[in-house]
Amino acid sequence: MKTTNQPRVLMLLENNPYPKDSRVRREATSLTAAGYEVTVISPKESGQPWYKVCDKVRVYRFPAPPEANGFLGYMWEYGYSMIATFFISLFVFLRHGFNIIHTHNPPDTFVLIVIWYKLLGKRFVYDHHDLAPEMYFARFGGSGNPLVHKALVWFEKLSLWLADHVIATNQSYKAMEMERGRVPENRITIVRNGPDLNRLRLVDDKPDVFQQGKTILCYVGSMGFHDGVDHLLRALYNLVYELERTDIFCVLVGAGDAWLGLKALAEQLHLTDYVLFTGWVEHTKVAGYLCAADICLAPEPSNAYNDRSTMIKITEYMALGRPIVAFDLPEHRVTAQGAAVYARPNDELDFAWQIVTLMDDPQQRQKMGRMGQTRVETELAWSHQEGHLLEVYQALGHARGKKRAKNVLRSWLKRARILPFVHRFKAWYYRLGGKRRLVKVPIDKLHCQERAFVALQAYLGQSIDHFPPCRFFEMSLTAPEKARDAFGQWLRECLIDKQAYKVPISEGGWANGSLVKEVLQVHQERGVALTDFEQADPALVDEAIARRVRYYFDVFNSIKEKG
């Protein structure tokens, strides 16, 4: 394996070829500019080479699988992609090496590859592009195989639990990650889908496909079943045939698994004279289509997925000063603010009316365009977002992980909240007299800290002759707060209720000398001279007991860890 002091990153991508996915491209190039050595594994489009260096980013590709339908289809698509990606990642590991593995979902099944490298001490950054479970239902109109949905939820949670850091695209995703994945807030960073203004800028070279004297509408982006282009076509039908506005021409730039069905729908709605499907075009030509447009469209319908997602197309429209018509979705408003007019969610006739409103008000279109352009330049552009990405990597560090596999596994179990069940199983195993990983130790050979737990066991009503196992040991595993309270109560009764504090210090005081020292130390810290326990301040005695409880539990926790 190649050795270098340069920090190395492996990015995994399945649902888009590189560099077509603009977010992944921006992140990879930003990291290389910051001194990271980046390798990307992605599917291969027709005509693309198996290996290429793009803007200092190494790209390895595998043949793209066919689009999935149904449970078996998803099993095949993701299974094939995971196997291909895993073997290429092994090659990258041996040939170039990497310190950090950075996955871009969907799918979340990349976590199966991550587990292997986590055991080798690699750091894991989970870039949460899409809510895969919600997107699955949105793709199939709110229905779908429940087994697929449950599997997607499980893989998403596992990815969130195992990630050293999670990158969210907006506040809605961050809230979901904290709620559904129980990820602490300090392990989540928001990196928004901001356009790169060095690549996306106003151009004069516009396509010559537009019809003169008409208002030009434009849609740019993927055309999947959840992207709402079918809503857009029906809105155009209302615009042309219900509102009798034939002075429009709409250009649809992009493609996807719904593309052929959308072309057929346009023919059924008699819109072939009013729309143009260009398919995918080179990224350098996208700006030309957008600059030629008078109004840009974001027809994503309201559902559990779209309501929480930030669409890249909206920020690209804004970057070029185009006014927007969109359905009134929460994240659309957060992103576009005054740069868009909003139709009632999923109301195609109202969407058509909002288009008419902007068609008839050129001054409002210019005002909205300037507003959106200013917002991108001052807040949303990638130049404002890449700093958050670099902060994530700086926080992680690029040194090789030094945790042993056992400690890594323990941290995973703790994050997944499985560790209490492991402890409970251990306690049951001890009670049943199974093989003990903690050796039985006779009481007369115990250290004073362990004797305290044996004495507490007797206080709880069980006589034992060795340590562990004991009932208190089980309690400390399954109910640590209850055990801590019981231990503090026992110390308090021994010291106060039995009036042990009345024994003069000169005569040895209470049998537990360590607690005597704790009481004396607390009084000395408060400037109180103490000659016998009868003069002790009850509040300070309680403080000494609390200290002793914390100390014993620290000791006992170290004993537990050995088990």
Q: Are residues 434 and 324 in the same domain?
A: no
Provide the pLDDT confidence category of residue 458 given band limits of 50, 70 and 90: low
- The domain in which residue 51 lies consists of 8-191
Q: In which region does residue 354 sit, left (phi positive, over 0), alpha (psi from -120 to 50) or beta (all else)? A: alpha
Mean pLDDT of the chain: 80
The number of domains in the chain is: 3
The verdict on residue 405 lying in a domain is: no
What backbone phi and psi angles, to 5 degrees, belong to 10?
A: -110, 120
375 and 438 belong to one structural domain = no
Is the pLDDT assigned to residue 254 strictly greater than 70? Answer: yes
Which pTM was predicted? 0.69
CA dist 492 → 8, 253, 363, 497, 543 (Å): 56, 76, 79, 7, 11
Residue with tokens 């279109």: 365
Rounded to whole angstroms, the Cα distance separating 99 from 390 reads 15
Could you give the 3-state DSSP secondary structure of residue 166? Answer: strand
Please compute the mean of the pLDDT values over residues 304-323 and round it to a whole number. Answer: 92
Q: What is the pLDDT of residues 112-124, one digit of tens each?
A: 999 999 988 899 9
Residue 437 falls inside a structural domain: yes
**Mean pLDDT, to the nearest integer, of 80-98?**
93
H or E element at residue 9: strand 8-12
Residues 274 and 355 in one domain: yes
More confident residue, 436 or 499: 499
Map residue 129 onto helix, strand or coil: coil
Residues 415 and 49: their CA atoms lie apart, in Å, by 41
Q: Which of 136, 159, 191 is the last residue of a domain?
A: 191
- CA–CA separation, 131 vs 308, rounded Å? 9
Please report the sign of the dihedral spanned by the C-alpha atoms of residue 12, residue 18, residue 21, residue 23: positive
Q: Compute CA distances 172 → 149, 182, 310, whole Å.
A: 20, 14, 9
Question: Are 349 and 445 found together in one domain?
Answer: no
Listed residue (172, 50, 151) closest to 108, CA to CA: 151
Instruction: Examine the pLDDT at 76 and tell me if it is beyond 70.
Output: yes
What does the angle CA 490 – CA 494 – CA 498 come to, to the nearest 5 degrees? 135
Domain boundary among 382, 404, 425: 382
Asked whether the beta carbons of 492 and 481 are under 8 A apart, the reply is no
- What pLDDT sits at residue 464? 46
Tell me: do 187 and 265 sit in the same domain: no
Residue 556: CB partners within 8 Å, gap ≥ 6?
A: 449, 453, 476
Residue 315's domain is classified under what CATH number? 3.40.50.2000
